């Protein structure tokens, strides 16, 4: 129990400093000082805290050093000593505060990360679905695994909400500690390009690293595709000596990623039967699609030494690749092909990822998907256009997020108008932008006149449900799993799924039941 000026629990500062590459010390010497918290947010500081002053893109943590000390910080990590040294505090000068945060957090949380088999999943699209598939497979096959990803950490039956796909280093190591105490042997985590550049995973050794694909995204942050690719490359530099890497070899960036890994550690995944990868690899995995519907696909998975037929319970060709990549991870983890296929076939939905919503009595289908990039929207629409009944229409509702890469807006408008029969453009998370301005930019890429613009997202979904007829397929894209809409800096509860179900129910009143096409 911590009280002002005292700390009876935690880790000795001297012990933390053994794991931190520091340049110099100032102020109070660390002898005997106990640290009860590690944080980079001065608002979280409690007595006996270690405050790490990191330089962000909006603010500089060094501005809050004195505030942290007033709240009770016993030590401060910084890249430059402040001019006014407080004698009661220990100042630790480092060359990179972000790396130091990761180093200190690892020690503070008992090196929990060293006791977990860490599986990192990176790429533009498919990270969440593939990571969830891997987590489900491992747990079903007796390898207790936690999950860290888009807005969620899952440890057993406990869900913890997250602000970021990959938390800051101190938050990440805190989750590793919880997983170890819960009996986890492994953790499957989505590793964002931001997390790699900003050193949130610095010092981690990955038992397995998986690359899904790379398409334009976050170019407001990375500025170019090569810079974006270089960020992803860092994951494969952190592969442990006994680890392995899985690549979607159908993606043009895979060879660049694989260049960081020894050949015998490379597992290649392809949906192109017999196609030779453009780079040498140790093991090859292929999937052959026998039959696909709006509900599932029947596939043959070709393992290095076996081939098995299984049902993929998630629609679309890209989900077959997600399953294939998960199967390759399972092989590297020592699982047998039979148990891999059995466990993966049991996954029938991933929230917000081509998620079938409700049961239409009017004979049409609705899907919610997180697709918020041009490539993701293209693949979602492509999958549904191929699988929908002949003569039916594909209707899409989507928007683009505010304060994010604006270059993708007209491109997504073009893709939607070329691939869907009816298009409704609407708000996503406008954040601090004017919604109508975002729609203007989307509209510039639209061809034809088969579209509507309705900035109110709820009204856009209601209108889409109203125009559906028997056999039609609706895709509501962009927000997926999110249960909020961010407008002018405030988050308001919002669920695409709930609204579809609500308007679906209103739309069926008084109509006879019709056969659903979601089969």
User: CATH fold of 11-108, please?
Assistant: 3.40.1390
Instruction: Give the pairing of strands 473-477 and 394-398.
Output: parallel
Report the C-alpha gap between 114 and 173 in whole angstroms. 10
Cα dihedral 35, 36, 37, 38, rounded to 10, equals 20
Report the C-alpha gap between 270 and 258 in whole angstroms. 15
> What is the reported pLDDT for 32?
85
In a 10 Å sphere around its CB, with 0-12 CB exposed, 13-18 middle and 19+ buried, how is residue 248 labelled? Answer: buried
Nearest Cα to 127, choosing from 196, 175, 198? 196
Tokens of 452: 């509507």
Nearest Cα to 74, choosing from 1, 173, 4, 19? 4
> What is the reported pLDDT for 405?
85
Nearest Cα to 174, choosing from 182, 65, 306, 15? 182
Nearby residues of 500 by Cβ (< 8 Å), 6 or more positions away: 357, 358, 366, 368, 461, 465, 474, 476
> What is the reported pLDDT for 29?
87
Nearby residues of 493 by Cβ (< 8 Å), 6 or more positions away: 483, 484
User: Which residue shows structure tokens 């919503």?
Assistant: 357
- Full pLDDT tens readout for the chain, 519 residues: 233 345 657 899 999 999 999 999 999 988 888 999 999 999 999 999 999 999 876 678 899 999 999 999 999 999 999 999 999 999 999 999 999 999 999 999 999 999 999 999 999 899 999 999 999 999 999 999 999 998 899 999 999 999 888 999 999 999 999 999 999 999 999 999 889 999 999 999 999 999 999 987 766 676 788 898 999 999 999 999 999 999 999 999 999 999 999 999 999 999 998 888 888 899 999 999 999 999 899 999 999 999 999 999 999 999 999 999 999 999 999 999 999 999 999 999 999 999 999 766 678 999 999 999 999 999 999 999 999 999 999 999 999 999 988 999 999 999 999 999 999 999 999 999 999 999 999 999 999 999 999 999 999 999 999 999 999 999 999 999 999 999 998 999 999 999 999 998 887 543 434 444 455
Range list of β-strands (E), 10-129: 11-12, 22-27, 34-35, 37-39, 49-52, 75-78, 90-94, 117-122
What does pTM read for this prediction? 0.89
Which residues of the chain form CATH 3.40.1190.10?
112-345
User: Which residue shows structure tokens 């679906």?
Assistant: 504
> What is the reported pLDDT for 222?
60
User: CATH fold of 355-508, please?
Assistant: 3.90.190
Nearby residues of 190 by Cβ (< 8 Å), 6 or more positions away: 120, 121, 122, 127, 128, 131, 148, 149, 150, 165, 166
Cα dihedral 462, 466, 472, 478, rounded to 10, equals -10
Sign of CA dihedral 489, 495, 496, 502: negative
Which residues of the chain form CATH 3.90.190.20?
355-508
Report the C-alpha gap between 486 and 480 in whole angstroms. 14
> What is the reported pLDDT for 512?
38
Which residues of the chain form CATH 3.40.1390.10?
11-108
Nearby residues of 459 by Cβ (< 8 Å), 6 or more positions away: none
Tally helices (H) and strands (E) across the chain. Answer: 16, 26
User: Which residue shows structure tokens 């996503």?
Assistant: 428
CATH of domain 112-345: 3.40.1190.10
Continuous segment of H or E residues that includes residue 397: strand 394-398
User: Which residue shows structure tokens 């088999």?
Assistant: 117
């Amino acid at each position: 129990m911590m009280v002002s000026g005292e700390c009876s629990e935690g880790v000795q500062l001297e012990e933390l400093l053994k794991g931190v590459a520091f340049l110099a010390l100032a102020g109070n010497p660390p002898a005997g000082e106990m640290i009860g918290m590690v944080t980079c947010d001065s608002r979280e500081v409690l007595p006996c805290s270690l405050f790490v002053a990191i330089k962000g893109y909006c603010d500089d943590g060094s501005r809050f050093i004195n505030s942290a000390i007033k709240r009770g910080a016993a030590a401060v990590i910084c890249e430059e000593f402040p001019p006014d040294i407080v004698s009661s505090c220990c100042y630790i000068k480092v060359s990179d505060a972000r790396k130091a945060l990761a180093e200190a957090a690892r020690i503070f949380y008992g090196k929990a990360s060293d006791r977990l088999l860490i599986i990192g999943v990176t790429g533009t699209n498919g990270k969440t679905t593939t990571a969830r598939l891997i987590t489900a497979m491992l747990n079903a096959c007796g390898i207790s695994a936690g999950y860290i990803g888009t807005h969620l950490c899952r440890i057993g039956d406990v869900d913890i909400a997250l602000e970021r796909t990959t938390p800051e280093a101190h938050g990440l190591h805190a989750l590793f500690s919880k997983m170890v105490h819960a009996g986890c042997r492994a953790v499957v985590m989505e590793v964002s390009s931001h997390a790699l550049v900003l050193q949130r995973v610095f010092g981690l050794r990955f038992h397995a690293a998986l690359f899904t694909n790379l398409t334009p995204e976050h170019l407001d942050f990375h500025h170019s595709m090569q810079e974006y690719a270089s960020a992803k490359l860092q994951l494969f530099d952190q592969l442990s000596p006994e680890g392995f890497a899985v690549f979607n070899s159908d993606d043009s960036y895979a060879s660049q990623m694989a260049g960081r890994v020894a050949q015998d550690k490379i597992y290649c995944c392809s949906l192109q039967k017999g196609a030779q990868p453009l780079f040498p690899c140790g093991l090859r995995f292929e999937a052959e699609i026998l039959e696909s519907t709006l509900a599932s696909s029947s596939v043959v998975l070709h393992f290095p030494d076996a081939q098995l037929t299984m049902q993929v319970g998630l629609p679309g060709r890209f989900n077959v690749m997600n399953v294939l990549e998960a199967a390759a991870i399972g092989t590297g983890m020592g699982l047998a092909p039979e148990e891999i296929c059995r466990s993966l076939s049991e996954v029938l939905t991933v929230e917000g990822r081509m998620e079938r919503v409700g049961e239409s009595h009017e004979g049409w289908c609705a899907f919610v998907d997180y697709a918020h990039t041009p490539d993701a929207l293209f693949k979602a629409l492509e999958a549904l256009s191929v699988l929908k009944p002949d003569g039916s229409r594909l209707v899409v509702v989507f928007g683009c997020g505010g304060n994010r890469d604006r270059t993708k807006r007209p491109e997504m408008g073009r893709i939607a108008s070329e691939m869907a029969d009816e298009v409704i453009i609407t708000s996503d998370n406008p954040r601090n932008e004017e919604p109508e301005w975002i729609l203007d930019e989307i509209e510039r890429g639209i061809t034809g006149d088969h579209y509507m613009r309705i900035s109110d997202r709820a009204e856009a979904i209601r209108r889409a449900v109203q125009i559906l007829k028997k056999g039609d397929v609706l895709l509501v894209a962009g927000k997926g799993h999110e249960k909020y809409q961010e407008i002018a800096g405030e988050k308001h509860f919002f669920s695409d799924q709930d609204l579809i179900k609500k308007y679906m129910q209103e739309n069926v009143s008084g109509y006879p039941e019709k056969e659903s096409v979601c089969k």
